[in-house]
Every structure is written in C-alpha cells, then in structure tokens.
Copies of this chain bind each other. A is one copy, B any other.
Amino acid sequence: MGDAGRTVVDVPRIDKGLDNVYVKETSICFVDGVRGRLLYRGYDIRDLADHSSFEETAFLLLWGRLPNREELARIRADLGAARAVPPAVLASLRRMPKDAAPMDVLRTAVSLLGMHDGDRGDASPEANRRRAVRLLGSVATIVAAYHRIRSGARLVKPDPARAHADDFLRMVTGTRPGASQTRVMDVALILYADHSMNASTFAATVAASTLSDLTSTIVAAIAALKGPLHGGAIEAAFEALRFIGRPEAAEAYVLDVLGRHGKVFGFGHRVYKTYDPRALIFQRIAKELSEAAGDPDLYRVADVVQETVVRELRAKHIFPNVDFYSGLVFHYLGLPPDLATAIFAMSRTAGWAAHVIEYWEDNRILRPLDHYVGPTDALYVPLEDRS
C-alpha cells in the first residue's frame, strides 16, 4: 500500500520505556542510584527507618516537612478513624470470591471507596492530602479484612488508638503483635512509602493529568503495581526462596536460572547501580527475625541466592532490590506471602498521593505519541467480498 497519507516525521526516535525521559521536577523523593541513597523530602531513608514512624513519614511525604506534635497527633487520629472503613465497603469484601487475588480486591475496594468519599467536590491540595490520609487508613483495613474473610476468621475491628503498623498486624493476624514486630512492620511501611517516578506512580500521574480525582489515580497505581515487573516481584521472589527450600540448593538454582537466561526476581533496578539501601535494611531485619524465630533456613537460602547473583552478574551491576528480602520479612511477621504486594500498596499510597498532588500544582495532560507504521490507505471491502 502507498504512503500517500503519511505526514509524520519519517523515523522518529522511540523512547522505549521512557528510560531517560524526565517527566517533571519533584521535591518528594531522590534516588541516588550511584551512592545507594534514598531520600524522602531530603531525609535519608536510613534515618527515617531508625527514628520515624509510618504516620510521620506519610505526613512528611504529603506535607513536605516533619510534623510537629499536634500535626502528628492529628494524622494518627485521622488514620485511625479512616481504618473504620464504610460498612458498604466491608460488605463488598464479604461478597468477593474467596480465591481472588488480593490486588484485585484492593483495586476494586479502593475504587468503591471513591463513591463513599465525604467531600468529593473539593480538589484543593489540602483536601487531597486529607483524602490521601483517609485512603491510607482504609487500605490497611481492606487488606486485613479481606484476608480474615477469605480465611473464614472473624473480622478484627480497627482500634483508632493504636499506631497504624500495630493495628494492621492486629487486624490481619487477630493477635496483638509484640513491640518488635510492630516496629518491623512500621519500618517496612516507611521503606515502601515512596520511590520517585516508578511505574505505578507514573500510572497515577497519567490518570491525574486529565484532572481525574485522587481516588482514580490510586486505583490506576494499584492496577500498575500488580504486575510481576513491579510490586508483584515480592511474591515471585519469595516463592522462589520457598521453592529452593534448602541453603545447599540455592547456588545451583541460581546458576541454572541464569544459564537459561531466566529471571531471578528481586534483583536489578532501572536506577540503582549498587545496593538498594532498603534491601540492606530488609536484609538485616530478615536475619534478625530468622534467628529470633529459630528458623534461619529461608533466610540462608536468600543470602546464598543473593551472593550468587551478585557474584555472577557483577559486571552488569545487578544487586538485590527492595523486593528481594521484604517477602521474607513479611513471612517472619506471620503475614501470608500473597498479601505482600497489597502491603506495598498500603504504604505506597502515601507516595502516590504526594506525587499526584505535586503534579497538579503544574498540570499538563500526559499525551505522548506513537509512531504509526501500518498501512495508510486500506480499502474497505464489503463483507460479502471478503475471503
């Protein structure tokens, strides 16, 4: 067929994956992939993991600074109140298939929440920050409640007086967590709360750019996070550790996968060219928990996998990323492996919302181009004349 209708530039550059394309300026999160540092609003993630709480970190991401005493009390109270999700949402969870993927459940329940949002009309930054806090609270309860429902266990009512990490563990497991478990959960939520313009944050931003509402943008992010090249990697990485089972089998497993040019989940990152600082923190925690539990085998499997991958792929600068040890940490906390990506979402909702609110400060619809390479003058043939 002819090219008569072709008026685009003949062979434009395709920015596949948008690897080196900058889509906005930001003051939320800095990933220093060379030095292996991660900053939220300028604060080193290691300091936040040591000293902060998820409530404080969420405030930091959303409001751009650490809260004072009154502000911290308010976000704690607001999160606690929001953990009491609308009865219609809880009822919908009870009716969902018991074997649904937790990410499908979360995507649907958060979407439903959008219809029950108290102040739909107000799209000011402050209203959206408050809305983000409500979403953060609700998401924790949705994840926990669905797990209780599918397990045939009684729902555990949220306790607004508790810290978010504490109450989440309580709502999932049905027992009161110890202080060290709560602290580990809190750190996990801090570590997952943001990571600059990753694919789920980008999906949220694209949805935001049409001036859609905040809940819609979070739903879009959850839809993107589900994939195994993103949040789904936690489960894939953990399942591999369980499949390997014994530390002695780990090296051979890795060599076999790499020999077949297969993928070892939980390794490599578009930005980090050294150890992801979050991976190092999760590794330390996983080690401690495995020893405390008197069940060090899975942790040792992970370490051998890690050493083997890093040794074999050092030339390619492949290191464990945040998702490699986190599944193990969730496991030692007694959390079911298939909740891992939903827990990621529970935390990352803070970062998603912060990025969307920032993008709206100087919004422009995200409408890239695609380069047409098909026919330009196909002739419509009536049905009776088609072969």
Known A92-B95, A199-B365, A206-B224; contact A35-B5, beta-carbon cutoff 8 A:
yes
Say yes or no: is A203 at the interface (Cβ < 8 Å to chain B). yes
Distance (whole angstroms) from the CB of A156 to the closest CB of chain B: 23
Q: Which residues of B contact A116 (CB under 8 A)?
A: 97
Proximity bits, A7-29, B CB within 8 Å = 1, else 0 = 10000111111111111111111
Q: How many copies of the shown chain assemble into the complex?
A: 2
Known A21-B18, A370-B26; contact A376-B42, beta-carbon cutoff 8 A:
yes
Bound CA–CA A22/B372 (angstroms): 10
Q: Which residues of B contact A43 (CB under 8 A)?
A: 378, 380
Are B22 and A13 in contact, with the CB atoms below 8 A?
yes
A: interface residue count bin: 35 or more
Q: Which residues of B contact A44 (CB under 8 A)?
A: 380
Say yes or no: is A259 at the interface (Cβ < 8 Å to chain B). no
- Nearest CB to that of A1 among chain B residues? B42
Bound CA–CA A28/B146 (angstroms): 40
Say yes or no: is A130 at the interface (Cβ < 8 Å to chain B). no
Query: Among the listed B37, B210, B364, B374, which residue makes an inter-chain contact with A227, where contact means beta carbons less than 8 Å apart?
Result: B210
Query: Among the listed B16, B207, B231, B365, which residue makes an inter-chain contact with A364, where contact means beta carbons less than 8 Å apart?
Result: B16
Query: Among the listed B27, B209, B231, which residue makes an inter-chain contact with A373, where contact means beta carbons less than 8 Å apart?
Result: B27
Q: Which residues of B contact A225 (CB under 8 A)?
A: 210, 212
